[in-house]
Amino acid sequence: MTSQPVVAHTREDLLPARKALDGSVAVVMTMGALHEGHAELIRTARKSADHVVVTIFLNPLQFAVGEDLSRYPQTFDDDLAICAREDVSVVFAPTPDVVYPQGEPGVRVSAGPLGEVLEGASRPGHFDGVLTVVAKLLHLVQPDFAFFGQKDAQQLLLIRRMVRDLDFPVEVIAVPTVRETDGLALSSRNTYLSAADREVALSLSRALQAGADQSVAGPAAVRRAAREVLVREPLALVDYLVLVHPDSLEQVPEWYRGPALLAVAAKVGTTRLIDNLPLEIGPAHEV
- Give catalytic residues, as residue numbers: 38
66 is in an annotated binding site: no
Q: Is 150 annotated as a binding residue?
A: yes
Phi/psi of residue 59, each to 5°?
Answer: -80, 110
Which DSSP state fits 284? G
What span, in angstroms and rounded, lies between the C-alpha atoms of 146 and 131? 13
- Helix (H) / strand (E) containing 271: strand 271-281
CA distances from 126 to 31, 120, 175, 250 (A): 14, 6, 22, 19
Question: Was 31 annotated as part of a binding site?
Answer: yes
Tell me whether residue 188 is annotated as binding: yes
189 annotated ligand binder: yes
Is 20 labeled as ligand-binding? no
| Diameter over CA atoms, the chain | 56
Tell me if residue 211 falls in helix, strand or coil: helix
Residue 187 is assigned to a ligand binding site: yes
72 torsion bin: left (phi>0), alpha (psi -120 to 50), beta (else): beta
Query: Would the annotation count 248 as a binding residue?
Result: no
Answer yes or no: is 165 a known binding residue.
no
Q: Is 186 annotated as a binding residue?
A: yes
How is 10-39 classified by DSSP, letter by letter? SHHHHHHHHHT--S-EEEEEE-S---HHHH
Residue 151 annotated as part of some ligand binding site: yes
Extract the annotated binding site for (R)-pantoate.
Answer: 62, 155
Residues annotated within the binding site for beta-alanine are 62
Residue stretches of the annotated binding site for ATP = 31-38, 149-152, 178, 186-189
